[in-house]
């Protein structure tokens, strides 16, 4: 068991230890991994669309797709096929080259991010030892951030090149939204990197193995997760910023159906629209996978004892993924949409300061820990944390007071002669 | 050269003016719009009552915006303009500078059509105007005809009318909850609102045979008596809807994002609302407790207990909260009606306006002739003119009816609350953003069938 973990902590994929030759089993394995990742991701999107539609319709007292295939499982396939056979339309004023390019700029990065996600541990198959991960570059986290920034171009250029007003507004919103939330996201990721001292996703996962237990009940597999080890704040900030990055409700201002009709993809039809749709759902899956990798211990879990995967198992990865995806659907089914300025306020005035503050706290603690200077540790870390807690508590109290005052005012204002307002 | 330039300028101005002339309803460039029009589009009330108006300097509108603004067309095919409302807006980025509602896409000439239909047939026509509260249209029309006829309506008929009008108010406001939620991005509300309304429509179908456009309330009473067991049906609906409203409270009223989206958005003051003749939830949202059911009681509204819900801020949240609580009040009225409903006739026994019962037609030639005459010629209404107003879910619904003594109205005109409320939209959109514009349109809750008639 520990040997397995040690192997994960090792820099890089053990597959490449003996060098890489053209036309070797190693190359074949890499190729198979790439094709598998591609196919799995595509199938996952098909299932995700179905899952979202089914869960949403359950929440809304509807049946949802139930015509194509068992339980409507093939509905997405049918929709996709239909879209690919439809006529491609170009708006008269569109910038054709960019208009053609944009969907690919959106869809390709969606595939790429998944390459650095560890979906399982190390396996010994086909005479080689290798990671259940397409690639584990030393800059894995940076890579995912960079790729998600490129995806902004797809949306931005799509709106701009349509030569139409609603998409233009959508693309302006997209640019502002994604750029500002990327900052908060980056700061949240920085805390993880500080703790793991590595940008390699494999290492980040390996760092999250915990040892805590209550009596004989081992909690080892959960206590080391970054969501707990880093004090929840970065994980929450990352999840919120990630949702905004995905343009999912309540941050779906970019396509806001009731305001901008379709936002950036209003003018798109047929396969090009399908690419945007594909990218959106694929990004949802990748973002959930990224949250799992960074904060929820990746594929870490109790020993499954199957396929020699030990505590690192795709089963746990999949379970966590499903929980997160359900949460995304749940949020979509519940919350109203933010307004543009409120979105900016949340990003710049709340998330970024909070992320920055938490980064400082973690850095201080790390500094105290690494220098071994207990005095520095206590002299700096404790006041900083104390101030932080005080600010948080004061803010919460203020907020509560304001809400109470608001509620009181609201109750007073609903002058239903003698009948108290119900707010 | 100069001359050529001048001619060119002249011709462009002319063509612009020509365009303006040909499309007077639309929003035009600032340079092509007269100052009073510009002020109206900016939201001025122009009655000299509003502080906001007094502060407005017409010269301010000439600010050089260059090409920083964009005129955008919202509707008539747009997901959240509630049918075929078209709103033209001038935008600077996300900010709305000017607004102009453009209407007429659903104009079917109902007021003119009424002149070719007998008073008995009129109901089928008017019920299609505000298609979300058909009973209220029929009620207002019937009251107007009856006022001209000066006939007495049996008590039970009046109570039945009140019951249907209140249930209709619930259905209409439930639909508002649905569309309002969807417009603000809470897609789940769309289904929940429709789901509850469905229960009411099922009851309407049971009573009238139709889900919409019932022609149930007719001059002289109602078409048929309530079906057996209606009390239980109605109470079941109230028992079902009231807890669901508490769920709406959880989902929207207390939801921080929803509150941020609606509070302080689309504000209108009491003076402005009165100057713009706004009625219904828009006026009550500003704190004016104006409800025709209380202020000019018709039917038996003075015999039931209910509260007029008012707000204080005149914002979109107030209008939402008023409609939500009005559903509760309507349920309260409905419960009282169930207790108070007397036995008796469901239509007037005045043979002048009510055809003989089916059984009499088989045995009496006179009855058959009478029935035939009533159905083909209709009944004659004494000459005169009358204005009757009721409180529809959207505000004061008025019917102005002129009779020249014949069997068809000489002239019919309606004061549609949706139509009148629409003109307060530019005022409410002052300083709004695009997303607020949607919230405002939604909070006005216009029914375009009634606006365009």
**CA pair distance B171, B179, nearest whole angstrom:** 13
pLDDT of A2 reads 43
Q: What is the mean pLDDT of chain A?
A: 79
Which tokens go with B400? Answer: 């102005």
A402 touching chain B per CB within 8 A: no
What is the dihedral angle through the alpha carbons of A407, A409, A410, A411, rounded to the nearest 10 degrees? 90
Confidence label for A211 from pLDDT (cuts 50, 70 and 90): low
**CA pair distance B191, B177, nearest whole angstrom:** 10
Classify residue B355: in a domain, yes or no.
yes
Interface contact A259-B260, CB threshold 8 A: no
A28 touching chain B per CB within 8 A: no
* Nearest residue of chain B to residue A411 (CA atoms): B311
Query: Does residue B144 surpass a pLDDT of 90?
Result: yes
Helix (H) or strand (E) holding A124: strand A122-125
List, for residues A243-266, the tens digit of each pLDDT value. 888 888 888 877 777 777 777 888
**CA pair distance B100, B107, nearest whole angstrom:** 18
A252 touching chain B per CB within 8 A: yes
Choose the closest CB to A250 out of B94, B257, B433.
B257
List, for residues A280-326, the tens digit of each pLDDT value. 889 899 999 999 888 888 777 766 555 555 556 788 888 889 999 99
Classify residue B298: in a domain, yes or no.
yes
Classify residue B310: in a domain, yes or no.
yes
Classify residue B48: in a domain, yes or no.
no
Interface contact A416-B325, CB threshold 8 A: yes
**CA pair distance A89, A98, nearest whole angstrom:** 14
Classify residue B254: in a domain, yes or no.
yes
Judged by average pLDDT, the poorest of A37-51, A119-133, B241-255, B310-324 is A119-133
pLDDT of B34 reads 73
Distances (CA, A) of A102 to A112, A254, A275: 16, 15, 10
Which tokens go with B159? Answer: 């109570």
Interface contact B72-A339, CB threshold 8 A: no
Q: What pTM, to 2 d.p., does this model score?
A: 0.83
**CA pair distance B137, B215, nearest whole angstrom:** 9
Q: Which residues pair with A259 in a beta bridge?
A: none
Bigger pLDDT: A330 or A362?
A330
Judged by average pLDDT, the poorest of A253-262, A375-384, B285-294, B428-437 is A375-384
Contacts of A421 in chain B (CB under 8 A): 321, 325
Classify residue B182: in a domain, yes or no.
yes
Choose the closest CB to A341 out of B78, B80, B433.
B433
Q: Which residues pair with B402 in a beta bridge?
A: B385, B411
Nearest to B426 by CA among B45, B32, B15: B45
Phi–psi pair at B101, nearest 5 degrees: -75, 135
| CB contact residues (below 8 A), chain B span 153-212, against chain A | 181-188, 190-192, 195
The order of strands in the sheet holding B409-415 is B384-392, B395-403, B409-415
pLDDT of B163 reads 93
Which tokens go with B242? Answer: 């009231």
| CB contact residues (below 8 A), chain B span 319-358, against chain A | 321, 325, 328-329
Nearest to A225 by CA among A318, A139, A285, A293: A293
Classify residue B393: in a domain, yes or no.
no
Confidence label for B14 from pLDDT (cuts 50, 70 and 90): very low
Per-residue burial over B64-95, b if 16 or more Cβ lie within 10 Å, else e, is eeeeebebbbbbbebbbbbbbbbbbbbbeebb
Query: Does residue B187 surpass a pLDDT of 90?
Result: no
Query: Does residue A69 surpass a pLDDT of 70?
Result: yes
Contacts of B247 in chain A (CB under 8 A): none
Classify residue B143: in a domain, yes or no.
yes
* Nearest residue of chain A to residue B440 (CA atoms): A259
pLDDT of B173 reads 93
Contacts of A340 in chain B (CB under 8 A): 94, 433-435
Interface contact B79-A333, CB threshold 8 A: no
Range ranked top by mean pLDDT from A376-385, B34-43, B51-60, B149-158? B149-158
Query: Does residue B276 surpass a pLDDT of 90?
Result: no
| CB contact residues (below 8 A), chain B span 391-450, against chain A | 433-436, 438
* Nearest residue of chain A to residue B78 (CA atoms): A261
List, for residues A84-95, the tens digit of each pLDDT value. 898 888 888 888
B124 touching chain A per CB within 8 A: no
**CA pair distance B431, B438, nearest whole angstrom:** 13
Count of residues making up chain A: 423
Q: Which contacts (CB < 8 Å, 24+ apart) does range A318-327 have?
A: A320/A292, A320/A296, A321/A285, A321/A288, A321/A289, A321/A292, A324/A288, A324/A291, A324/A292, A325/A48, A325/A51, A325/A52, A325/A284, A325/A285, A325/A288, A326/A55
Bigger pLDDT: B152 or A370?
B152
Confidence label for B5 from pLDDT (cuts 50, 70 and 90): very low
Bigger pLDDT: A74 or A249?
A74
Q: What is the mean pLDDT of chain B?
A: 85
pLDDT of B166 reads 93
Number of domains into which chain B is organized: 1
Bigger pLDDT: B349 or A4?
B349
CA angle A419, A421, A423 (to 5 degrees): 155
B94 touching chain A per CB within 8 A: yes
Residue linked to tokens 């199938």: A43
**CA pair distance B35, B61, nearest whole angstrom:** 8
Answer left, alpha or beta for residue A270, where phi above 0 means left and psi between -120 and 50 means alpha.
left
List, for residues B297-342, the tens digit of each pLDDT value. 888 898 999 999 998 888 899 999 999 999 999 999 999 999 999 9
User: Residue B247 maps to which CATH number?
Assistant: 1.10.645.10
Residue linked to tokens 């005022």: B427
**CA pair distance B85, B442, nearest whole angstrom:** 11
* Contact status, residue A360 vs residue A384, Cβ threshold 8 Å: yes
Which value, in Å, is the radius of gyration of the alpha carbons in chain A? Answer: 24
- What ipTM does this complex have? 0.79
**CA pair distance B179, B156, nearest whole angstrom:** 35
**CA pair distance B381, B398, nearest whole angstrom:** 19
Sheet strands (E) in B330-419: 384-392, 395-403, 409-415
Phi–psi pair at B62, nearest 5 degrees: -90, 10
Percent of chain B exceeding pLDDT 70 equals 90
Choose the closest CB to A258 out of B79, B307, B328.
B79
Percent of chain A exceeding pLDDT 70 equals 79
Contacts of B257 in chain A (CB under 8 A): 250, 335-338, 342
List, for residues A176-188, the tens digit of each pLDDT value. 888 888 888 888 9
Which tokens go with A24? Answer: 């070797």
Which tokens go with B43? Answer: 């939201």
* Nearest residue of chain A to residue B313 (CA atoms): A413
Confidence label for B160 from pLDDT (cuts 50, 70 and 90): very high
**CA pair distance B414, B391, nearest whole angstrom:** 13
B80 touching chain A per CB within 8 A: yes
Range of the domain at B273: 120-372
Which tokens go with B446? Answer: 């216009």
List, for residues A376-422, the tens digit of each pLDDT value. 666 666 777 777 778 877 877 787 787 777 666 655 543 333 333 33
| CB contact residues (below 8 A), chain B span 225-254, against chain A | 246, 249, 251-254
pLDDT of B10 reads 44
Q: Is B405 exposed, middle or buried (0-12, 13-18, 19+ CB in 10 A)?
A: exposed
C-alpha A356: how far from chain center: 20
pLDDT of B80 reads 73
Interface contact B184-A414, CB threshold 8 A: no
Contacts of A249 in chain B (CB under 8 A): 185, 187
pLDDT of A391 reads 80
Phi–psi pair at A93, nearest 5 degrees: -95, 15
Query: Does residue B73 surpass a pLDDT of 50?
Result: yes
Nearest to B56 by CA among B69, B70, B65, B45: B45
**CA pair distance A253, A271, nearest whole angstrom:** 23
Judged by average pLDDT, the poorest of A138-147, B4-13, B66-75, B216-225 is B4-13
Interface contact B80-A259, CB threshold 8 A: yes
Contacts of B434 in chain A (CB under 8 A): 169, 259-260, 340
**CA pair distance A60, B313, nearest whole angstrom:** 32
Contacts of A56 in chain B (CB under 8 A): 187-188
pLDDT of B385 reads 92
**CA pair distance A255, A178, nearest whole angstrom:** 13
Which value, in Å, is the radius of gyration of the alpha carbons in chain B? Answer: 24
């Amino acid at each position: 068991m520990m040997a397995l973990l040690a192997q994960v902590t090792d820099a890089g994929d053990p597959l490449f230890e003996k060098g890489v030759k053209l036309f070797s089993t190693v190359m074949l394995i890499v190729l198979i991994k790439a094709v598998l990742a591609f196919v799995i991701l595509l199938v996952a999107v098909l299932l995700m669309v179905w899952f979202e539609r089914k869960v949403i319709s359950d929440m809304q007292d509807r049946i949802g797709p139930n015509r194509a295939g068992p339980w409507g499982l093939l509905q997405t396939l049918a929709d996709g096929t239909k879209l690919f056979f439809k006529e491609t339309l170009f708006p008269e004023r569109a910038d054709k080259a960019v208009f053609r390019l944009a969907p690919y700029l959106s869809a390709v990065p969606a595939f790429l991010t998944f390459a650095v996600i560890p979906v399982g541990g190390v396996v010994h198959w086909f005479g080689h030892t290798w990671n259940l991960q397409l690639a584990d570059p030393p800059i894995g986290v940076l890579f995912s951030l960079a790729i998600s920034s490129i995806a902004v171009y797809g949306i931005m250029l799509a709106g701009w090149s349509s030569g139409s007003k609603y998409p233009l507004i959508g693309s302006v919103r997209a640019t502002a939204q994604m750029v500002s939330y990327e900052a908060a996201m980056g700061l949240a990721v920085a805390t993880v990197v500080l703790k793991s001292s590595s940008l390699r996703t494999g290492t980040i996962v390996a760092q999250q193995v915990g040892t805590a237990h209550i009596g004989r009940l081992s909690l080892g597999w959960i206590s080391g997760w970054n969501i707990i080890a880093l004090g929840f704040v970065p994980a929450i900030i990352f999840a919120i910023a990630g949702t905004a990055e995905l343009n999912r409700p309540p941050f779906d201002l970019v396509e806001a159906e009731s305001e901008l009709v379709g936002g950036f993809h209003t003018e798109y039809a047929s396969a090009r629209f399908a690419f945007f749709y594909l990218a959106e759902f694929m990004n949802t899956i990748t973002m959930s996978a990224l949250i799992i990798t960074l904060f929820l211990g990746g594929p870490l879990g109790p020993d499954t004892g199957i396929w020699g995967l030990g505590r690192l198992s795709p089963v746990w990865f999949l379970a966590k993924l499903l929980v997160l995806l359900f949460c995304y659907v749940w949020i979509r089914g519940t919350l109203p949409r933010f307004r543009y300025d409120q979105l900016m306020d949340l990003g710049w005035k709340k998330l970024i300061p909070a992320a920055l503050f938490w980064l400082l706290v973690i850095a201080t603690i790390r500094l105290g820990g690494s220098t071994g200077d207990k005095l520095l540790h206590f002299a700096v870390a404790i006041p900083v944390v104390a101030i932080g807690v005080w600010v948080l508590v004061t803010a919460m109290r203020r907020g509560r007071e304001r809400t109470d005052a608001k509620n009181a005012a609201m109750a007073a204002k609903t002058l239903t002669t003698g009948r108290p307002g119900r707010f | 050269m100069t001359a050529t330039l001048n001619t060119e300028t002249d011709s462009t101005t002319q063509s612009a003016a020509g365009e303006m002339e040909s499309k007077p309803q639309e929003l035009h460039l600032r340079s092509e719009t007269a100052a009073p029009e510009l002020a109206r589009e900016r939201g001025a009330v122009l009655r000299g009552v509003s502080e906001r108006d007094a502060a407005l300097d017409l010269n301010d509108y000439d600010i050089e915006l260059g090409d920083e603004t964009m005129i955008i067309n919202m509707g008539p095919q747009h997901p959240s303009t509630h049918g075929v409302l078209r709103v033209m807006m001038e935008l600077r980025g996300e900010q709305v500078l000017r607004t102009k509602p453009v209407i007429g896409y659903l104009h079917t000439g109902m007021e003119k059509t009424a002149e070719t239909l007998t008073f008995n047939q009129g109901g089928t026509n008017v019920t299609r105007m505000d298609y979300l509260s058909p009973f209220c249209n029929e009620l207002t029309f019937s009251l107007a005809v009856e006022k001209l006829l000066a006939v007495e309506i049996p008590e039970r008929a009046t109570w039945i009318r009140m019951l249907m009008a209140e249930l209709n108010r619930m259905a209409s406001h439930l639909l508002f909850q649905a569309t309002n939620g969807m417009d603000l991005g809470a897609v789940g509300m769309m289904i929940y609102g429709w789901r509850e309304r469905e229960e009411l429509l099922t009851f309407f179908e049971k009573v009238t045979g139709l889900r919409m456009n019932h022609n149930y309330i007719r001059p002289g009473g109602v078409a048929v008596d309530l079906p057996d067991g209606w009390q239980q049906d109605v109470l079941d609906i109230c028992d079902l809807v009231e807890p669901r409203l508490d769920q709406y409270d959880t989902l929207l009223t207390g939801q921080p994002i929803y509150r941020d989206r609606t509070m302080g958005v689309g504000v209108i003051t009491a003076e402005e609302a009165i100057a713009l003749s706004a009625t219904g939830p828009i006026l009550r949202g500003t704190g004016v407790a104006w409800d025709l059911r209380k202020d000019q009681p018709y039917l038996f509204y003075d015999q039931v207990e209910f509260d007029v819900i008012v707000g204080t801020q005149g914002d979109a949240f107030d209008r939402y909260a008023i409609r939500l609580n009005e559903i509760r009040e309507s349920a309260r009225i409905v419960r009282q009606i169930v207790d108070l409903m007397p036995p008796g006739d469901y239509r007037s026994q005045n043979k002048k306006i009510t055809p003989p019962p089916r059984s009499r037609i088989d045995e009496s030639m006179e009855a058959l002739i009478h029935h035939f005459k009533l159905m083909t010629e209709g009944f004659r209404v004494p000459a005169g003119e009358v204005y009757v107003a009721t409180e529809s879910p959207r505000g004061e619904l008025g019917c102005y009816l002129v009779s020249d003594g014949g069997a068809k109205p000489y002239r019919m005109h309606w004061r549609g609350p949706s139509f009148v409320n629409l003109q307060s939209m530019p005022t409410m959109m002052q300083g709004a953003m695009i997303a607020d514009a949607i919230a405002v349109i939604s909070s006005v809750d216009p029914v375009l069938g009634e606006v365009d008639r």
